[in-house]
A and B are shown apart, each in its own frame.
Chain A
C-alpha cells in the first residue's frame, strides 16, 4: 500500500477514487513512563517513553486506515492527514485519514 500526503502520486495515474478511509486509536499512558517523564520535567529534554507512545499510536492508526483501504481494494492512500483530540483526562485520540485510490499501471512497470 502506497501512502502519500500529496493529492496525487507523482509519476502515477489515479484511475479511481474509492473514498475516505480512516483509522484511529486512543492510548492511555502508563505509570512507569509517567515517573520517567516526571524526572524529565525537572531537567528538560526528550521524553522517550512518550515519543514511543506517540510512535505506536501513529502506527496503529495508520495500520487501521490501511486495513480499510485494502478492504476497498485500493492501491494507495493519498492526502493522508493526522489529527489528535483530547477525549478524557488521561486519554487522547490519534486519528489518521486519507483518500483511498486505485492506480493505473506504473510507467516503470513496478
Chain B
C-alpha cells in the first residue's frame, strides 16, 4: 500500500512537472524573444578592444545574473538519457534559457546607462547556491558581464 502511494506521489510530481514546467518554459522563451527585440538596438560583441574609441563618452561594467531550475519531469527524463547516451536536449534548453536571460539583464543595465554597445561580453557558470538542487534537480547559475559603451 505504501509503495503504491509512493508511486502515485512520484507520478503526480512528474505530471506536475510536464504541465507546469512546459508552460513555464514556453512563457519564458516568449518573454526572452520580446525582451531581445526591445533591446536589439544595443550591439553586443565579445571583442576585447572597443572599435573607434575616440567617440566614446562613457564606458562601464554591466552585469546580468540568473539562477534557474528545470522541472521534475525534465530532471527525470535527463536521468533516463544517461542510460542510452546522445544529446541532452532538455538540459541544453535550460542552459540556453539561463544564458539568454542573463544577457537580457545585462543589456537592460546597459540600456539604463544609455549605452548603445556592449563589448567584451563574458559568461561565467557560477555555483553560489552551492548545490544541484533538492533531489539533484537540474539548476544552472549564469553571470554575464561586459563593458557598456555610451557614445557622444
Contacts and interface: CB of A to CB of B under 8 A. Distances in A.
Asked whether A and B interact, the reply is yes
Given A4-B147, A6-B50, A90-B130, A50 B71 contact: no
Nearest to A41: B137
Interface residues of A, number: 43
Interface in A70-93: 80-84, 86, 89-92
B69 interface: yes
Bin the interface of chain B by size: 35 or more
SS class, residues of chain A in contact with chain B? mixed
A81 B145 CA distance: 9
B101 A6 contact: no
A84 B124 contact: yes
Interface in B53-110: 53-57, 59-61, 63, 65-72, 74-75, 101
A46 B67 contact: yes
A58 B75 CA distance: 28
Nearest to A92: B130
B133 interface: yes
Interface of B: 13, 16-17, 20-21, 24-25, 28, 48-50, 53-57, 59-61, 63, 65-72, 74-75, 101, 119-120, 122, 124-131, 133-135, 137, 139, 141, 143, 145-147, 149, 152
